[in-house]
Structure 1
């Protein structure tokens, strides 16, 4: 099976699990404000996976399959979870891959060792950065900078879900030497049979958002452009 076929199969399974867990929320009346500041009519709450043993085991198994099939063999010495939701996903994945586990804060702690990376040394280690989702990539750049400042070799980022609609996000990550590996994207959500459970009106609003998310966000009080510094 080709890498593309594996990605599509895993994406379909993750989309089904997100629907099963009630992670897809649509609100046409009151837009959601995403962590990156964008306004959106839809919120993908990947964290619901954390609370259900069957869902988290299934997603972890799919992540193991993805890493084993797509990433270069012997390319990971450690998995680093991004604060906060990336930490448990990283721990489960590290256990299954039998590699070291670390976590990286949004910023240095400010007390004690003033560390941004916790769990042990990462100097010289090839580290896979793991988070629950990616929106425009800004936080992933920050986490990667923190790991690299501590001496880690970071080339790959794995997220459960990727809002693959904001312009320039993939390019910014690539310019920073990062390859993004989402288990599922909007394409997987929209083609999932479970998407039939979304009302026609809600789906139409989501599709309007996906057609031009920056304009939609601007009209609804969210961010209007990508940050130049992220």
Structure 2
């Protein structure tokens, strides 16, 4: 999902008048070539906009909503039925052990909100069995392409469509796509640990069981691969 050159240039003229692209890349802590190529070609990634906004000391979501594709996105806490996806498996299992021992889970123990399998876990939270077909119908994204996105980086328009389908906050889609952090999306600092500490234990155990099955499958596949190599 790319942003139009003219729209980006108009935005830059307002937030950083007279500032060169090389300087903007330095402020955003992005490769100079990435910024210059994106702006000159008119294919600017939303994550580039938010990185520049951070470098300029501006609110990333406020600045992103200056673009028509994101104009209707507001800050929002994650929905209760998606928040498990934003906890890495190790953190979720560690939190479950604490709950079994009647101990309180601390936010710092849960790990980063963004991790390798975030998009896949988030998609699973949204999927009612028809989501893949819906994405293909609405966006023309074939299922093999979607499969690859869920294991690498989920494109912003696909993430937003998933959020709409599942009635998740649109800001969550941008966290999944790496455009915003949870704090920038409007999350309270302890929202994940609060969810984990208050979720009925049976539901938490069911979430942990799903993750354990996934880890077990990954381990078996790795062992099969290693045995094949001899």
- Bigger proportion of residues as helix: 2
Please report the TM-score for the alignment, with normalisation by the length of structure 1: 0.27
Larger strand fraction of residues = 1
